[in-house]
Amino acid sequence: MEKTLHVLQHALGLDQYGRGAGHRNYFVTDCGTTDWPTCVMAAADGLMTQTKGNAITGGGDVFRVTPAGMVWVQQHSPKAPTLTRAQRTYREWARADNGMTFGAWLKARGAVGAA
């Protein structure tokens, strides 16, 4: 189950907690790879569909997560850890990507009192 969860999350562009934009829905793999049996089993279970590969995919088959697979991912993904206030603030700064140092960004936000 853990391997299936990882493959489906990856196919959907999600993190290990099932979070993300879900900006894609495909997984390309070929017979003989370590992910192949997992994808074939997921397709047999109705969690993915399988389309035979072609020149564009380098011969690898394309697996897509079904709506039932999307529900399965949400049901089986572990709950994300709770972040502290400081961790949330740091991640907000990192997402801002504004070229400021963390300290300067905090001061600009007014989060650090100016003396």
Amino acid identity for residue 35 in this structure: D
* % of the chain residues with pLDDT over 70: 96
Range of the structural domain that residue 94 is part of: 82-110
| Whether 40 and 16 share a structural domain | yes
| Whether 90 and 38 share a structural domain | no
* % of the chain residues with pLDDT over 90: 69
Q: What is the pLDDT of residue 115?
A: 46
The set of residues, in sequence order, having a beta carbon less than 8 Å from that of 30 and lying 6+ positions away, is: 36, 53, 58, 59, 60, 61
| Whether 72 and 86 share a structural domain | no
| Pairwise CA distance, residues 79 & 103, whole Å | 31
Q: Which residue has the tokens 């949330």?
A: 88
| Whether 66 and 106 share a structural domain | no
Please report the DSSP string for 29-62 in residue order. E-TTSSSHHHHHHHHHTTSEEEE---TTTTTPEE
| Whether 87 and 69 share a structural domain | no
| Whether 62 and 94 share a structural domain | no
Task: Supply the pTM of this predicted model.
Answer: 0.74
In this predicted model, what pLDDT tens digit does every residue of 51-94 receive, in sequence order? 998 999 999 999 999 999 999 999 999 998 898 999 989 988 99
